[in-house]
Structure 1
Amino acid sequence: MLDLDAEVTAGQLAELTARIAELAGDHPVRDVLDIGAGTGTGTFALLRRFPEATVTAIDTSDEMLRHLHESATRHDVADRVRPLRADLDEAWPAIGHADLVWASSSMHHMADPDRVLRDIHATLRPGGLLAMIEMEQMPRFLPDDLGFGRPGMEARCHVLLDEARAEHLPHIGSDWPSRLIAAGFTIRESRDVTVGLRSPLPETAIRYAYATLGRIRSRMADQLSADDRSTLDTLLDKDDPNALHTRSDLRVLSTRSVWIATPR
């Protein structure tokens, strides 16, 4: 699902990294740190944008880091990527200084994000940049009134998702600008990046819808009503005439908040 998200958002990601390069100005970007690198969406976008850079890609998952390394090898950039398994809740690793830190959908996972932001501040060289991205809600794919038993199925799923995330991820929706300023940063720019695709969708976007809604179906099964489970089952059954890939009203709508900051 992370790889599909990367493909669907490739255009917006390229625009964002171009803006980061503009804000970096004459400051060289050679040492990059990707916090919560996952499968490497940010890592590869930054390698493309900054051809002289190497990226230290941090994640807690060995599986993710193996996937990232295999992808880097396929794209012939393995010599520019340093996968590093580390849990930033335990300690900040000895990684030296960085010109750019990229933290996409990772800060809200931290037990103490304020301490991690201070560690990032100490890691950045003078003139370096922190690019922080947070996606407050999962993407949406369906019309608001869809529901074969009862309209509004996707909205109800998102209510359940938001409740689960609030319970397990208490920093979701934090006042990140205040936290950045308290950690010693000056916010150079803030913006919302929106992905809005409408039918006919590219094949990648349709697979993204199947993967995301399928994950909701499997993870929230016990909390969904019988009507909503039935609606999702119909949409996810590729042999059903009402399946996702047959729908002319299928869309992708996703918004991410971005802050680009520099140490004071």
Structure 2
Amino acid sequence: MAHDHQHNHLVQMLDLDAEVLEDFHRELVGWAGSLVGDRPRVVDLGAGTGTGTLALARHLPGAQLTAVDVDDEMLEHLRHRAADAGLQDRIRTVRADLDGDWPALGPADLVWASASMHHLADPARTLARIRDTLRPGGAFMITELDGFPRFLPDPGLEDRCAAEMDRLRREGGMHMHENWGARLTAAGFDLAGERTFELEIPAPLPPAARRYAQVTFARMRERLADRLSADDLAALDDAAATAAHRDDLTVRATRMVWVGRRPS
């Protein structure tokens, strides 16, 4: 049951992120679309609920897309969303553990990896495989984040949660805060773009953004249940319980983007 709640919160967070940070996602997809021709083959690595897959399919009506994830429930959610959007004929889903043996995914014109690269055990090995998946001249776009978005006017609680999440991720072998530009160059890519987005939505937030805050607080509470003090856990519970009615919350998030090209 606990797993079901955690999975549900993660799915909601991913879908709400796309809704609340719509302007950022639109700009990012437009940038990705500018890297390819009219009928590209696109691979979304770590596709999750399909936010990137669906956005790219809408933006690139001639594209054929492959969404890859290790989680069957995520892929099922993605397939339902694709069917609802009438995009199922252009999107195929592939279940794969990208730390294991890769299925045949190429040749691709664009590989997209949004908030997924930090999960993979061996970045150098993964980048070599992505390079082999791309056609000569193909593009690889990495989007990463510095942690959970922030919402509260007083940073103390979220600072403590962020520090503990960083420790948890390091213990789990995650590759947060990597210099992916240097990694791309070392893997034989030409670095074609790099940008940091500082995102902010001011108070008072619309209902979807307050729901985004509520779900994020609940997700942090689940991840850090055995790592925070009783006072901080109670504060997270209170933040989740009151988020829908607060008018002092903002959304603050940082996203980093790198583009590499396989040399022609």
Q: Which of 39, 56, 75 is residue 49 of structure 2 equivalent to?
A: 39
Which position in structure 2 is the counterpart of 1:159?
163
Q: TM-score, normalised by structure 1?
A: 0.90
5 Å matches for 1:58-97?
A: 58-97=68-107
Confirm whether residue 18 of structure 1 aligns to residue 66 of structure 2: no
Q: One-letter code of the match for 1:165?
A: R
Q: Paired residue for 1:245?
A: 244
Report the Cα offset of residue 218 of structure 1: 2.4
Out of 176, 186, 189, the residue aligned to residue 190 of structure 2 is 186
Residue 150 of structure 2 corresponds to residue 133 of structure 1: no
After the TM superposition, which parts of structure 1 deviate over 3 Å for at least 4 consecutive aligned residues?
none
SS of 2:34 mapped into structure 1: helix
Offset of 1:139 from its aligned partner? 0.6
Shift in Å at residue 175 of structure 1?
2.2
> Is 1:256 the counterpart of 2:260 in the alignment?
no
Q: TM-score, normalised by structure 2?
A: 0.90
Question: Which whole-Å deviations, capped at 9, do the CAs of 1:165-203 have from their partners, x for residues lacking one?
Answer: 111134222221111011111111100123211112111
What's 2:6 paired with? Answer: none
Q: For residue 141 of structure 1, report the CA deviation from its aligned partner.
A: 0.7
Question: Paired residue for 2:4?
Answer: none
C-alpha spacing 1:127/1:107, structure 2 compared with 1 (3 Å): same
CA distance in 2, matches of 1:121, 1:3: 29
For residues 204-260 of structure 1, the C-alpha deviation after alignment (integer angstroms, 9 at most, x for no partner) is 1111100010111222122222222222222222xxxxx222322201111111001
* 2-structure distance, mates of 1:212, 1:223: 17
Unmatched runs of 5 consecutive residues or more in structure 2? 1-12
Counterpart in the other structure of 2:17: 5
How many residue pairs match? The answer is 251
Q: Is the 8 A contact 2:217 2:237 kept in 1?
A: no
Tell me the distance in 1 between the aligned counterparts of 2:96 and 2:236. Answer: 37
Structure 1: gaps of 5 or more residues = 146-151, 238-242
The letter of the residue matching 1:189 is G
8 Å CA contact 1:210, 1:244 repeated in 2: yes
Supply the AA of the counterpart residue of 2:137: G
Q: Deviations over 1:79-104 (max 9, x none)?
A: 11100001111112112300100011
Give a deviation string over 1:132-189, Cα, whole Å, max 9, x none: 11112111110135xxxxxx11211111111101111342222211110111111111
The CA distance in 2 between the partners of 1:153 and 1:187, in whole Å, is 37
Aligned to 2:9: none
Sort the Cα spacing of 1:53 and 1:189 in 2 relative to 1 into closer, same or farther, 3 A: same
String of CA shifts for 1:35-54, please: whole Å, max 9, x gaps: 00000011011111111001
Do the aligned partners of 1:126 and 1:263 also contact (CA within 8 Å) in 2?
yes
On the 8 A contact 1:89/1:111 being kept in 2, the answer is yes
- In the alignment, the residues of structure 2 paired with residue 29 and residue 263 of structure 1 have an alpha-carbon distance, to the nearest angstrom, of 18
Point out the structure with max Rg over C-alpha.
Answer: 1
Task: For 1:134-149, list aligned pairs within 5 A.
Answer: 134-145=144-155
CA–CA separation in structure 2 for the residues paired with 1:226 and 1:109: 29
